[in-house]
């Protein structure tokens, strides 16, 4: 256990057993590879044996890289009560990004914005920025409505110690609170106020009554105002013109609120021109980074997706336990919180919670030099992004125009962050806004999640991972297989390209990071290659079973014990990780099933990366029929993603029945046991897919 000033680091209690298991499993894997290669050298090589050997060698390499996450996992707890007084806390900016109000409903985005405005942090040290990358009128209108609502919501949260500061989540919980609804007068007050919105709380007669009646009145009034905000936004957004994306526009920056007791709230719509690269979300965050340098210039900022509302208002103070700790403050670049979701069912059949990433991988990286950077729920140091390394000297700013453009105002803001003297004179807010609008494009500062986190680590920065009992951020997970697979393919294809780039962790990473930490990024970059192993393992042994060609040792061969041990050892390791993370045996089984499904489907990520590498992704095909049935399109896309797994399932069904018939006739059970077991295992894992196919057939019939 490592105890710091503001946080505690705890090493996994069974670390020695974990490392012992890795060593024993490693010996078994090496033995298995020896068996395969020696067989090729002493026997005439056949195509099935060569391909199976290549598949197992690939899986062995992937397994070896995967163990880097298990080499030194740690968990952390924070001590926010020991932080400096609130007036001594540093400034904090919060960045929220949105693009399309039809895909990201404006009311939902405003819930996230309001939850950020209501963060439990000194209001004079807090600023909230929304990037509207679509330039949509409804988003700006929604920001103004949210700003007005926040004037009532923030004082209410502070006065009554509200812990759940996303209004939608708060009022949803309130509607389920039977004790509250039974309290005398609450429902009547609420219904009355919904019909006649009362704006002046102080003059109302209920303020003269006891505390509980006053609180109930506030609840009813605040709920009515929130519903009015929702109604206004929905009404404004009902006009299609207010939902349109404007992709050719001048920049626009508008201050929504700037008054005592509330954080600075700013709307930003960066310049977009068809002829200029915009870098998607990374470009939007870069713009916010530069614009905020003019307006608030906080040394730290939070990047959060527009659908990931702030569920725990103390998350900022929890992050400060790392940034302000004397032992870690110098080189901590970011603090990552897990991405968690409020719309998951108890049986998370698609593994949308990604337990492996946030429970195993990120905690494992935290014990090396820190986890990777996820797309949301991360607090970052502005200095880490703007300056090369923790030991970067101030003469770096002498050539600042080369890196950050010709804006003298922005360069002066960098000097402030570095604690240097600035020659910038105080200017009016109007002058500052004019200069911020002229910032222009700059993509030298890379801010695209995983790659950014990786580059920060290569420069000597570290990160921290905090998995608190109360989720600090809650979002909305994909609700169907197609959405999840689209995200997966996009992510894995970019990671594969990263693996073959000049910053590849296999080359650049090894030269600037610890080897074990580099291994974690190597695995992420190569994750899509699991598809080759599972496709080969899902076809070759099955076809060989039908033809009576053994590809595994027979049961009485001592080498069979090696294969059996590797399989059982892998399953036991996975089961222990799931159960120790408060999971269940059912979750363990579901994770295996979805892992194989995702791995097979990741073949599309390999193809997508290849297309991008060859420049073929720019080719687009126009559909002749413009009246596309969305439901049919969705079913078609789901069918495309499921096609590889369905094909493997059909092959395994044929191999299962055909193999049993052949074994019964040929009496070669010992030689074919390994392949029969593999086919049965794949069939068991694929049962939900088979069930879905049968259901779809019956419905279409």
Q: Which pLDDT tens digit goes with each residue over 284-299?
A: 888 898 899 889 999 9
Answer yes or no: are the C-beta atoms of 232 and 145 closer than 8 Å. Answer: yes
Q: Record the tokens describing residue 113, joined without a space.
A: 């914005």
Q: Which residues of 567-588 are buried (b: 16+ CB within 10 A; e: fewer)?
A: eebeeebbbebbeeeebeeebb
Stretch 297-302: mean pLDDT: 94
- Which band of pLDDT confidence, cut at 50, 70 and 90, is reported for residue 142? very high
Instruction: Tally Cβ neighbours within 10 Å of residue 457.
Output: 28
Answer yes or no: are the C-beta atoms of 71 and 368 closer than 8 Å. Answer: yes
What pLDDT does 121 receive? Answer: 96
Higher pLDDT, 94 or 619: 94
Torsion of CA 255, 256, 260, 261, to 10 degrees: -130
Q: Which pLDDT tens digit goes with each residue over 223-269?
A: 889 999 999 999 999 999 999 999 888 889 999 999 889 999 999 99
Q: Record the tokens describing residue 183, joined without a space.
A: 């309290």
Stretch 73-82: mean pLDDT: 94
Higher pLDDT, 416 or 335: 335
Told to judge if 115 belongs to the known catalytic residues of this protein, a careful annotator would answer: no
45 to each of 37, 174, 513, how far by Cα in Å?
10, 69, 40
The angle subtended at Cα 98 by Cα 501 and Cα 121, nearest 5°, is: 100
Would you say residue 525 lies in a domain? yes
**Euclidean distance between CA atoms 38 and 18, whole angstroms:** 30
* Long-range contacts, stretch 345-348, CB < 8 angstroms, 24+ apart: 347/586, 347/590, 348/587, 348/590
Q: Say which of 315, 352, 449, 527 is annotated catalytic.
A: 449
Edge-first strand listing for the sheet containing 462-465 = 252-257, 264-269, 126-132, 92-98, 300-305, 378-381, 332-336, 462-465
Is the pLDDT at 89 greater than 50? The verdict is: yes
Residues 524 and 625 both lie in one domain: yes
Dihedrals φ, ψ of 75, to 5°?
A: -130, 160
Would you say residue 324 lies in a domain? no
Instruction: Tally Cβ neighbours within 10 Å of residue 351.
Output: 21
What pLDDT does 202 receive? Answer: 44
Q: Which pLDDT tens digit goes with each residue over 448-506?
A: 678 889 999 999 999 999 999 999 999 887 666 677 778 888 889 989 999 998 889 99
Numbered residues of the known binding site: 103-104, 133, 281, 305
**Euclidean distance between CA atoms 262 and 118, whole angstroms:** 8
Q: Are strands 378-381 and 332-336 parallel, antiparallel or unpaired?
A: antiparallel
What pLDDT does 619 receive? Answer: 43
SS3 content of the chain, % helix, strand, coil (to 5): 60, 10, 30
- Bridge-partner residues for 473, per DSSP? 310
Residues 532 and 642 both lie in one domain: yes
Edge-first strand listing for the sheet containing 74-78 = 2-3, 7-11, 74-78
Higher pLDDT, 693 or 615: 615
Considering its fold, how many domains does the chain have in total?
2
The angle subtended at Cα 390 by Cα 399 and Cα 436, nearest 5°, is: 50
Is the pLDDT at 205 greater than 50? The verdict is: no
Look up residue 91 and give its DSSP letter.
Answer: P
Q: Give how far the C-alpha of residue 634 lies from the chain's centroid of Cα atoms, to the nearest Å.
A: 24
Numbered residues of the known binding site for UDP-alpha-D-glucose: 103-104, 133
Q: Say which of 133, 312, 351, 590 is annotated catalytic.
A: 133
Give the end of a domain, one of 377, 412, 437: 437
Query: Whole-model pTM?
Result: 0.86
Range of the domain at 541: 49-55+518-700
Residues 418 and 552 both lie in one domain: no
What pLDDT does 683 receive? Answer: 87
- Percent of the chain at pLDDT above 90? 52
Determine the number of helices (DSSP H) and then strands (DSSP E) in the chain: 27, 14
Numbered residues of the known binding site for Mn(2+): 281, 305
- Which band of pLDDT confidence, cut at 50, 70 and 90, is reported for residue 95? very high
Residues 6+ apart with CB under 8 A from 667: none
Answer yes or no: are the C-beta atoms of 389 and 460 closer than 8 Å. Answer: yes
- Which band of pLDDT confidence, cut at 50, 70 and 90, is reported for residue 11? very high
Give the end of a domain, one of 437, 461, 491: 437
Instruction: Tally Cβ neighbours within 10 Å of residue 188.
Output: 11
Average pLDDT, the chain: 84
Is the pLDDT at 352 greater than 80? The verdict is: no
Stretch 325-345: mean pLDDT: 88
Residues 430 and 558 both lie in one domain: no
Question: Radius of gyration (Cα) for the chain, nearest Å?
Answer: 28
Residues 522 and 432 both lie in one domain: no
Is the pLDDT at 190 greater than 60? The verdict is: no
State in Å, rounded, how far the first CA of the chain is from the last one: 62
Task: Write out the DSSP string of 567-627.
Answer: HHHHHHHHHHHHHHTT--HHHHHHHHHHHHHHHHHTHHHHHHHHHHHHTGGG-----S--S
Question: Of 330, 295, 274, which Cα lies nearest the Cα of 428?
Answer: 295
Task: Write out the DSSP string of 157-209.
Answer: HHHHT-S---HHHHHHHHHT-HHHHHSTTHHHHHHHHHHS----STTSGGGGS
Told to judge if 133 belongs to the known catalytic residues of this protein, a careful annotator would answer: yes
The angle subtended at Cα 424 by Cα 420 and Cα 430, nearest 5°, is: 135
Question: Of 541, 503, 533, which Cα lies nearest the Cα of 606?
Answer: 533
Q: Which pLDDT tens digit goes with each residue over 656-694?
A: 999 999 999 988 889 999 999 999 998 888 877 776 666
Q: Is 110 exposed, middle or buried (0-12, 13-18, 19+ CB in 10 A)?
A: buried
- Which band of pLDDT confidence, cut at 50, 70 and 90, is reported for residue 406? low
Residues 6+ apart with CB under 8 A from 225: 149, 152, 197
Q: Which pLDDT tens digit goes with each residue over 40-56?
A: 988 888 999 999 999 99
Q: Give how far the C-alpha of residue 694 lies from the chain's centroid of Cα atoms, to the nearest Å.
A: 34
Would you say residue 78 lies in a domain? no
Would you say residue 522 lies in a domain? yes
Is the pLDDT at 514 greater than 70? The verdict is: yes
What pLDDT does 13 receive? Answer: 85
Q: Which of 339-353, 521-535, 683-697 has the highest mean pLDDT?
A: 521-535
Q: Record the tokens describing residue 45, joined without a space.
A: 């090589």
**Euclidean distance between CA atoms 619 and 608, whole angstroms:** 12
Q: Is 477 exposed, middle or buried (0-12, 13-18, 19+ CB in 10 A)?
A: buried
Give the end of a domain, one of 437, 472, 497: 437
- Which band of pLDDT confidence, cut at 50, 70 and 90, is reported for residue 443? very low
Would you say residue 654 lies in a domain? yes
Stretch 168-185: mean pLDDT: 66
- Bridge-partner residues for 127, per DSSP? 93, 264
Instruction: Tally Cβ neighbours within 10 Å of residue 507.
Output: 13
Would you say residue 229 lies in a domain? no
Q: Which residues of 322-341 are buried (b: 16+ CB within 10 A; e: fewer)?
A: bbbbeebeebbbbbbbbbbb
Is the pLDDT at 367 greater than 80? The verdict is: yes
Would you say residue 554 lies in a domain? yes
What pLDDT does 477 receive? Answer: 74
643 to each of 451, 510, 647, how far by Cα in Å?
31, 38, 6
- Which band of pLDDT confidence, cut at 50, 70 and 90, is reported for residue 207? very low
**Euclidean distance between CA atoms 432 and 420, whole angstroms:** 20
What pLDDT does 595 receive? Answer: 87
**Euclidean distance between CA atoms 17 and 453, whole angstroms:** 30
Q: Which residues of 514-546 are buried (b: 16+ CB within 10 A; e: fewer)?
A: eebbbbbbbbbbbbbbbbbbbbbbbbbbbbbbb
Flag the least confident range among 282-286, 346-350, 501-505, 583-587.
346-350
Q: Which pLDDT tens digit goes with each residue over 527-548?
A: 999 999 999 999 999 999 999 9
Would you say residue 579 lies in a domain? yes
């Amino acid at each position: 256990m490592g105890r710091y000033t503001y946080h505690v680091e705890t090493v996994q209690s069974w670390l020695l057993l974990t490392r012992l298991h890795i060593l024993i499993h490693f010996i078994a894997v090496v033995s298995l590879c020896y068996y395969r290669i020696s067989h090729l050298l002493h026997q005439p090589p056949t195509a099935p044996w060569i391909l199976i050997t290549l598949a197992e060698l690939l899986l062995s390499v992937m397994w070896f890289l995967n163990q880097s996450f298990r080499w030194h996992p740690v968990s952390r707890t924070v001590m926010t009560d020991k932080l400096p007084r609130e007036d001594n806390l540093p400034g904090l900016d919060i960045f929220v990004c949105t693009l399309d109000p039809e895909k990201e409903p404006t009311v939902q985005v405003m819930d996230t914005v309001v939850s950020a405005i209501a963060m439990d942090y000194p209001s004079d040290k807090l600023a909230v920025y929304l990037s509207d990358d679509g330039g949509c009128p409804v988003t700006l209108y929604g920001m103004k409505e949210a700003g007005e609502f926040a004037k009532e919501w923030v004082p209410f949260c502070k006065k009554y110690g509200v812990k759940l500061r996303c209004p939608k989540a708060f009022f949803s919980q309130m509607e389920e609170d039977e004790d509250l609804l039974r309290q005398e007068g609450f429902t009547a007050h609420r219904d009355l106020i919904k019909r006649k919105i009362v704006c002046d709380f102080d003059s109302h007669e209920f303020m003269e009554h006891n505390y509980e009646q006053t609180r109930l009145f506030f609840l009813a009034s605040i709920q009515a105002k929130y519903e009015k905000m929702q109604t206004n936004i929905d009404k404004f957004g009902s006009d299609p013109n207010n939902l349109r994306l404007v992709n050719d526009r001048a920049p626009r920056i508008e201050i929504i609120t700037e008054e005592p007791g509330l954080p600075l709230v700013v709307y930003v719509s960066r310049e977009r021109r068809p002829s200029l690269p915009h870098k998607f979300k990374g470009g939007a965050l870069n713009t916010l980074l530069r614009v905020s340098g003019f307006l608030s210039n906080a040394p730290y900022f939070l990047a959060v997706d527009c659908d990931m509302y702030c569920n725990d208002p103390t998350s900022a103070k929890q992050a400060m336990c790392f940034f302000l700790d004397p032992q870690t403050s110098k080189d901590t670049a970011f603090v990552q919180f897990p991405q968690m979701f409020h719309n998951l069912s108890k049986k998370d059949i698609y593994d949308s919670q990604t337990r492996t990433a946030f429970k195993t991988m990120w905690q494992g990286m935290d014990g090396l030099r820190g986890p990777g950077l996820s797309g949301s729920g991360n607090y970052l140091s502005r200095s880490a992004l703007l300056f090369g390394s923790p030991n970067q000297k101030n003469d770096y700013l002498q050539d600042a125009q080369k890196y950050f453009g010709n804006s003298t105002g922005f360069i002066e803001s960098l000097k402030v962050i570095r604690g240097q003297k600035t020659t910038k004179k105080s200017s009016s807010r109007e002058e500052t806004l004019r200069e911020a609008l002229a910032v222009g494009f700059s993509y030298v500062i890379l801010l695209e999640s995983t790659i950014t986190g990786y580059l920060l680590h290569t420069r000597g920065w570290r990160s921290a991972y905090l998995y608190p009992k109360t989720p600090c951020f809650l979002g909305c997970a994909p609700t169907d297989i197609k959405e999840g697979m689209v995200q997966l393919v996009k992510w894995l294809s970019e990671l594969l390209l990263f693996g073959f780039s000049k910053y590849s962790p296999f080359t650049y990473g090894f030269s600037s990071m610890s080897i074990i930490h580099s291994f974690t990024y190597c695995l992420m970059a190569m994750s899509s290659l699991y598809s080759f192993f599972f496709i080969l393992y899902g076809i070759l042994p099955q076809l060989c079973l039908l033809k009576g060609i053994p590809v595994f040792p027979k049961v009485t061969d001592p080498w069979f014990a090696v294969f059996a041990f590797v399989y059982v050892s892998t399953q036991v390791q996975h089961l222990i990780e799931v159960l120790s993370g408060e999971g269940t045996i059912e979750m363990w089984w579901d994770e295996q099933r979805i892992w194989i499904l995702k791995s097979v489907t990741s073949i599309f990520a390999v193809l997508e990366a290849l297309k991008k590498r060859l420049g073929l992704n720019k080719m687009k095909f126009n559909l002749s029929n413009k009246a596309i049935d969305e439901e049919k399109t969705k079913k078609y896309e789901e069918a495309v993603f499921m096609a590889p797994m369905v094909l493997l399932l059909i092959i395994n069904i044929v191999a299962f029945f055909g193999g049993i018939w052949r074994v019964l006739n040929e009496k070669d059970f010992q030689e074919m046991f390994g392949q029969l077991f593999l086919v049965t295992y794949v069939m068991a894992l694929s049962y939900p897919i088979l069930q879905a196919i049968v259901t779809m057939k019956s419905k279409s019939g």
